[in-house]
Amino acid sequence: EVQLVESGGGLVQPGGSLRLTCVASGFTFSSNWMTWVRQAPGKGLEWVANIKADGSEKYYVDSLKGRFTVSRDNAKNSLYLQMSSLRVEDTAVYYCARDVFRPTSIGGALYYYYYMDVWGKGTTVTVSS
Amino acid sequence: DIQMTQSPASLSASVGDRVTITCRASQRITTYLNWYQQKVGEAPKLLIFAASTLQSGVPSRFSGSGSGTDFTLTISSLQPEDLATYYCQQNYKVPRSFGQGTKVQIK
């Protein structure tokens, strides 16, 4: 069964740090881009960061650059999100997702589609004093 | 960054109704558009990618259309299990932003 399981969430004080882990099973983890998405209580989805299959490329939403770091260990089928200088507004459910890369030729043009087809159940981070 | 705007923010419809949700991108994104469904207390689920390609296992009452800046998700005959919030997401460039969501309620 294809599965993603997040862990590492919890209660942390403002200014603190936390590392989230996402463990993959049932597919070839080392062949896939992976993404972190978060959702604040009662709010919509926010794309946080992603990382290429071999870890050589990483991208972040501008507002989190410098505080959050995405990484992976393909030998352990694991994705990580290191979060530092946490703020109250970082309180959210954090999801990891498999990011499928699908090059498609349409009418002679090449399109490079990405979509998230497998999601974990999420881990909750609460930043509060 | 590309801004994604969905409308309406919420809607209420009866079982069997045709429901349409729109999503507009702040710049042209050709067909780099995904749709997700999120039920209360659950993780999002992929419905449609590349603007109109139905993900495997998704009921055929869901369909997507559009190109450029304007996109549509249609539920041809609303079912009780479609109660959820729906999000569009662009994958034209990073950060791969989402729309703010459309909450679908059943009358």
Q: Digits of tens for pLDDT over chain B (107 positions)? A: 999 999 999 999 999 999 999 999 999 999 999 999 999 999 999 999 999 999 999 999 999 999 999 999 999 999 999 999 999 999 999 999 999 999 999 99
CB contact under 8 A, B32 and A61: no
Q: Number of Cβ pairs closer than 8 Å across A and B? A: 65
Query: Are β-strands B62-67 and B19-25 bridged in parallel, bridged antiparallel, or unpaired?
Result: unpaired
Question: How far apart are alpha carbons A24 and A51 in whole angstroms?
Answer: 14
Question: For residue B37, which phi and psi values (nearest 5 degrees)?
Answer: -115, 135
CB contact under 8 A, B44 and A116: yes
List the 80-119 stretch of A: residues with Cβ below 8 A of B.
95, 100, 102, 104, 111, 113-117, 119
A12 touches A123 (CB < 8 A): no
Question: How far apart are alpha carbons A80 and A44 in whole angstroms?
Answer: 22
Question: How far apart are alpha carbons A103 and A24 in whole angstroms?
Answer: 23
| Range A114-125 burial, b when 16+ CB lie within 10 A, else e | bbbbbbbebbeb
Q: CA of A76, closest CA in chain B: separation in Å?
A: 24
The residue length of chain B stands at 107
